[in-house]
């Protein structure tokens, strides 16, 4: 278990703003809590809401680092709040909503709409050759290939890579690492009938793979530790080969 740090008083500085409310101005609100062992930002935020700010907005679903709901900027860096133990942070903690995505209120942003848009644009689904025969034995696949696909399939669409990407922050149409990783994932999948030309049509421009400036914030911050650097590089080589 993580080591207890008895008696710390944590100071939370939370960027607050509710665009729904015409009187709301963005401001930093300050809260203090006594820390205890095993405290995560999930626990801390709930306690703050319970005790000080009943209107504080944030999103948690699985609270286990699995669903990707709770991405926020923690001390300047995007991360999953639910699995961040306060003991890993200095006693002064700043929290802000993920940038790029539409702000719902306080720490809650609309990643869902963004991700859906990305999915529609990049057609992130298997384009089947022929529909599967449900009653027949399934197509074979090399075990290593299945594992390699899963490795890329692990993305939870948390949006941290977008918030961590300087390119995405400058150019709103950039598909970001999450989108590029999806293409890498479907490209690897033999069940998808699309070829590199088709993928080029989706990401072969400066909003796609050629917009990436190899800043690697995505790679370093991805909570699922996806191999984003190598995947983007790989795609770039493949897409250049198309031309």
Partner 1 sequence: MKRNLLPARLDLAQSVTGLVLAVFMAFHLVFDSSILLGANAFRFVSGALEGELIFGQKIPLITTLFAGVIFAIFIAHAGLAMRKFPQNAAQYRAFRSHMKEMRHGDTSLWWLQIWTGFAMFFLASVHLYIMMTQPDTIGPAGSSYRIVFEWKWPLYLLLTIAVVLHAAVGLYRLALKWGWFEGKDPNRRRKTLKKAVWIVSAVYLAMSLAALGAFVHIGLTGQDHFGNQVEVVPR
Partner 2 sequence: MKIVYTDVLVIGGGLAGLRTAVGVKQRGFDTIVLSLVPAKRSHSAAAQGGMQASLGHSAMGAGDNEDVHFEDTVKGSDWGADQRVARMFTHVAPKAIRELAGWGVPWNRVSQGEREAVINAERVVITESAKAHGLITARDFGGTRKWRTCYTSDGTGHAMLFALGDQSIAHGIPVMERMEALALIHEGGRCYGAVVRNLVTGELSAFLARATTIATGGYGRIYKVSTNAVICEGTGTAIALETGVAELGNMEAVQFHPTAIVPAGILTTEGCRGDGGILRDVKGHRFMPDYEREKRELASRDVVSRRMTEHMRKGLAVQSPYGDHLWLDITVLGREHVHKNLREVTDICRYFLGMDPAEDWIPVRPTQHYSMGGIRTDHRGESTTLKGLFACGEAACWDMHGFNRLGGNSVAETVVAGMIVSEFIADFCAGSESDINLSTGLVREFVEREQAGLDGLLNSSNGESASAIRSRMEEIMIEQVGIFRTGSELESAVEELEQLLERSRRLSVRNRVPGANPELVAAYRLPKMLKLALCAALGARQRTESRGAHYREDFPQRNDRDWLNRSITTWPSAEATLPRLDYESIEVGDMELPPGFRGYGTRDHIDHPHSDQRHRQIEQILKAVDPNDRYARQAALMPFEHLLPEKYRPRSQRLEIKT
Q: Which does 82 bind (CB under 5 to 8 A by kind): ligand FES, ligand SF4, ligand F3S, none?
A: ligand FES
Cβ-based nearer residue to partner 2, 55 or 220: 55
Cβ-based nearer residue to partner 2, 23 or 243: 23
DSSP designation for 190: T
91 near partner 1, rule: CB under 8 A? no
Among 98, 122, 212, 239, binds ligand F3S (CB under 6 A): 212
CA angle 88, 91, 93 (to 5 degrees): 85
216 near ligand F3S, rule: CB under 6 A? yes
Alpha helices in the chain (DSSP H): 41-51, 111-122, 143-153, 160-163, 166-170, 176-188, 196-203, 217-221, 228-242
Q: What is the DSSP string of 136-164?
A: SPPPP--HHHHHHHHHHHT----SHHHHT
Among 56, 100, 160, 165, binds ligand SF4 (CB under 6 A): 160
CA separation for the pair 197, 123 (Å, rounded): 14
Contact 221, 164 (CB under 8 A): yes
Among 10, 80, 105, 203, binds ligand FES (CB under 6 A): 80
25 near partner 2, rule: CB under 8 A? no
Among 71, 78, 159, 176, binds ligand F3S (CB under 6 A): 176
Window of 15-23, 45-53, 55-63, 206-214 that interacts with ligand FES by CB under 6 A = 55-63
Q: Which of residues 168-187 bind partner 1 (CB under 8 A)?
A: 169-171
CA separation for the pair 46, 54 (Å, rounded): 9
CA separation for the pair 141, 167 (Å, rounded): 37
Among 14, 16, 33, 57, binds partner 2 (CB under 8 A): 57
152 near ligand SF4, rule: CB under 6 A? no
């Amino acid at each position: 278990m993580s080591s207890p740090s008895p008696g710390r008083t944590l100071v939370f500085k939370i960027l607050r703003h509710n665009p729904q409310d015409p009187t709301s101005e963005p401001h930093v609100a300050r809260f203090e809590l006594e820390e205890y062992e095993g405290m995560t930002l999930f626990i801390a935020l709930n306690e703050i809401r319970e005790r000080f700010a009943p209107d504080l907005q944030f999103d948690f679903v699985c609270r286990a680092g699995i669903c990707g709901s709770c991405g926020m900027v923690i001390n300047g860096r995007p991360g999953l709040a639910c699995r961040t133990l306060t003991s890993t942070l200095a006693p002064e903690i700043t929290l802000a909503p993920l940038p790029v995505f539409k702000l719902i209120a306080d720490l809650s942003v609309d990643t869902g709409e963004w991700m859906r848009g990305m999915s529609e644009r990049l057609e992130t689904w298997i384009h089947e050759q022929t529909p599967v025969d449900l009653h027949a034995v399934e197509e074979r696949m090399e075990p290593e290939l299945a594992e390699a696909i899963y490795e890329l399939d692990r993305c939870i669409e948390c949006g941290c890579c977008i918030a961590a990407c300087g390119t995405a922050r400058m150019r709103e149409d950039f598909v970001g690492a999450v989108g590029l990783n999806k293409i890498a994932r479907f490209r690897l999948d033999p069940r998808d009938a699309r070829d590199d030309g088709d993928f080029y049509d989706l990401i072969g421009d400066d909003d796609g793979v050629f917009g990436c400036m190899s800043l690697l914030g995505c790679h370093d911050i991805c909570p699922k530790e996806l191999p984003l650097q190598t995947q983007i590089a790989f795609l770039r080589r493949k897409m250049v080969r198309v031309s």
